[in-house]
Structure 1
Amino acid sequence: MTGDHAARPGMAAPRLALAGWVLFDWAAQPFFSLVQTFGYAPYFVRVMVGDPVAGQAYWGYGTAVAALLIAVLSPTLGAIVDQMGRRKLWIGATGAIYALCCVLLWFCRPGEPGAIVMALAAVCVAAVAIEIAVMVNNAMLPGLVDRSHVGRLSGLGAALGNVGGVVATLLVLTLFVANPGTGKTLLGIAPILGLDGAHQEGARAIGPFSALWFGCFILPLLLFTPDARPIRTGTPTIRAGLSALRASLRELPRHPALLRFLIANMIYTDGLVALFAMGGIFASSILGWTAIQVGLFGMLVTTAGIAGALAGGSLVDRIGARAVVLLTLGLLMAALAGTLSLGPDHVGPWAVAPPRPDRVLFDSAAERVYLAIGTLIGLCSGALLASTRIVLIGLAPPDRLTQFFGLFALSGRVTAFLGPLSVAVATQLMASQRAGIAVLMVFFAVGMALLATVKTR
Structure 2
Amino acid sequence: MNAMAVPQASPPASELASGPAVSNKGQILAWAAWDWGSAAFNAVMTTFVFTVYLTSNAFGGADAASAALGGALAIAGIAIALLAPVTGQRSDAGGRRKLWLGVNTAAVAVLTALCFFVFPKPEFLLLGVSLIALGNVFFEFAGVNYNAMLAQISTPKNIGKVSGFGWGMGYLGGIIALLAVLQLFVQPSFEWFGAATQDGLNIRLVAVFSALWFFIFALPVLFTVPELSVNKDQSRLGFVASYGLLFRRVKAIYRTSPHTIFFLLASAIFRDGLAAVFTFGGVIAAGTFGFELKEVIFFAIFGNVVAAIGAVIGGFLDDRIGPKAVIVGSLLGLLVAGTSILVLGNGNYTFFGSAWAGSTTFWVFGLFLCLFVGPAQSSSRAYLARLAPDGESGELFGLYATTGRAVSFLAPALFTLCIAVVTPLVAEGEAQRWGILGIMVVLLAGLLVMLPVKPPGKTQIAVVPQH
Instruction: Answer yes or no: is the 8 Å Cα contact 1:26–1:163 preserved in 2.
Output: yes
Shift of 1:422: 1.6
Q: 2:450 and 2:200 mapped to 1: Cα distance?
A: 45
Change (3 A) 1:225 1:445: closer
Structure 2 unaligned regions, length at least 5: 1-17, 424-430, 459-467
Q: 2:216 and 2:259 mapped to 1: Cα distance?
A: 44
Residue in 1 that maps onto 2:408: 416
Change (3 A) 1:140 1:171: same
Q: 2:79 and 2:308 mapped to 1: Cα distance?
A: 29
Change (3 A) 1:301 1:244: farther
1:81 matches 2:91: yes
Which aligned pairs between 1:183-332 and structure 2 lie closer than 5 A?
185=188, 187=189, 189-190=190-191, 192-197=192-197, 200-232=200-232, 236-238=237-239, 241-254=242-255, 255-315=257-317, 321-332=323-334
Shift of 1:401: 9.3
Letter in 2 for 1:365: A
| Equivalent residues, number | 429
Structure 1 unaligned regions, length at least 5: 1-7, 179-184, 354-363
Which aligned pairs between 1:363-382 and structure 2 lie closer than 5 A?
365-382=357-374
Shift of 1:352: 9.6
What percentage of aligned pairs have identical amino acids?
Answer: 30
Q: 1:23 and 1:60 mapped to 2: Cα distance?
A: 29
The 10-residue stretch of structure 1 (220-229 or 342-351) with the greater mean CA deviation from structure 2: 342-351
Shift of 1:342: 3.8
Change (3 A) 1:390 1:234: closer
Q: 2:169 and 2:65 mapped to 1: Cα distance?
A: 32
Shift of 1:162: 1.7
Instruction: Answer yes or no: is the 8 Å Cα contact 1:69–1:128 preserved in 2.
Output: yes
Q: 1:136 and 1:322 mapped to 2: Cα distance?
A: 23
SS of 2:405's equivalent in the other structure is coil
Letter in 1 for 2:56: R
Instruction: Answer yes or no: is the 8 Å Cα contact 2:101–2:146 preserved in 1.
Output: yes
Change (3 A) 1:350 1:415: farther
Residue in 1 that maps onto 2:428: none
Shift of 1:344: 4.0
Residue in 2 that maps onto 1:160: 169
Partner residue of 2:179 out of 139, 163, 170:
170
Q: 1:258 and 1:224 mapped to 2: Cα distance?
A: 31
Letter in 2 for 1:20: A
Residue in 1 that maps onto 2:41: 31
Instruction: Answer yes or no: is the 8 Å Cα contact 1:270–1:415 preserved in 2.
Output: yes
Residue in 1 that maps onto 2:136: 127
Change (3 A) 1:312 1:112: closer
Q: What whole-Å deviation, never above 9, does each CA across 1:51-99 have from its counterpart, x for those lacking one?
A: 1111111111111122222222222211121122233332332233222
Letter in 2 for 1:332: L
Q: 1:382 and 1:438 mapped to 2: Cα distance?
A: 21
Instruction: Answer yes or no: is the 8 Å Cα contact 1:80–1:242 preserved in 2.
Output: no
Shift of 1:213: 0.9
1:46 matches 2:45: no
Q: What whole-Å deviation, never above 9, does each CA across 1:312-365 have from its counterpart, x for those lacking one?
A: 345557766444433322222221222113444424999998xxxxxxxxxx73
Residue in 1 that maps onto 2:464: none
Letter in 1 for 2:439: L
Relative to the length of structure 2, the TM-score reads: 0.80
Instruction: Answer yes or no: is the 8 Å Cα contact 2:98–2:227 preserved in 1.
Output: yes
Residue in 2 that maps onto 1:434: 433
Change (3 A) 1:160 1:283: same
Partner residue of 1:108 out of 115, 118, 138:
118
Residue in 2 that maps onto 1:385: 377
SS of 1:236's equivalent in the other structure is coil
Q: 2:199 and 2:405 mapped to 1: Cα distance?
A: 37
SS of 1:412's equivalent in the other structure is helix
Q: 2:87 and 2:269 mapped to 1: Cα distance?
A: 23
SS of 2:408's equivalent in the other structure is coil
The 10-residue stretch of structure 1 (47-56 or 282-291) with the greater mean CA deviation from structure 2: 47-56
Change (3 A) 1:88 1:344: same
Residue in 2 that maps onto 1:3: none
Q: 1:274 and 1:81 mapped to 2: Cα distance?
A: 28
Instruction: Answer yes or no: is the 8 Å Cα contact 1:265–1:447 preserved in 2.
Output: yes
Shift of 1:195: 2.9
Instruction: Answer yes or no: is the 8 Å Cα contact 2:33–2:218 preserved in 1.
Output: yes
Shift of 1:376: 0.7
The 10-residue stretch of structure 1 (62-71 or 146-155) with the greater mean CA deviation from structure 2: 146-155
Residue in 2 that maps onto 1:60: 70
Q: 1:72 and 1:348 mapped to 2: Cα distance?
A: 50
Instruction: Answer yes or no: is the 8 Å Cα contact 2:194–2:201 preserved in 1.
Output: no
Change (3 A) 1:263 1:93: closer
Instruction: Answer yes or no: is the 8 Å Cα contact 2:289–2:346 preserved in 1.
Output: yes
Instruction: Answer yes or no: is the 8 Å Cα contact 2:167–2:374 preserved in 1.
Output: no
Shift of 1:217: 2.0
Letter in 2 for 1:385: Q
